[in-house]
Amino acid sequence: MLKIFLLFLLFWLQCSLWIGKNGILDYIKIYKKIIVQKKKNEDFQIRNNQLILEIERLNNAIKN
């Protein structure tokens, strides 16, 4: 009886770990979203720097 209980407990813990709330599958999904968001942020940073340079160029053209 104890062996059956321990086997059930092990199975339940493994299920919780892999497919439960905040389990490994949730972690993998969130990790992939973070990678995509970091790439988007890098692209936005590049675009922002381009806009800042354009604004500075236009300000310099107005002053001259």
Q: How many CB atoms lie within 10 A of CB 20?
A: 14
* Residue 46: domain span: 2-63
Q: Can you tell me whether residue 42 is helix, strand or coil?
A: helix
Domains held by the chain: number: 1
Contact residues for 33 (Cβ-Cβ < 8 A; gap 6+): none
pLDDT string in tens for the chain (64-residue length) = 999 999 999 999 998 888 888 889 999 999 999 999 999 999 999 999 999 999 999 999 888 7
Measured CA distances, 55 to 1, 10, 15 (Å): 76, 62, 55
Predicted model pTM: 0.67
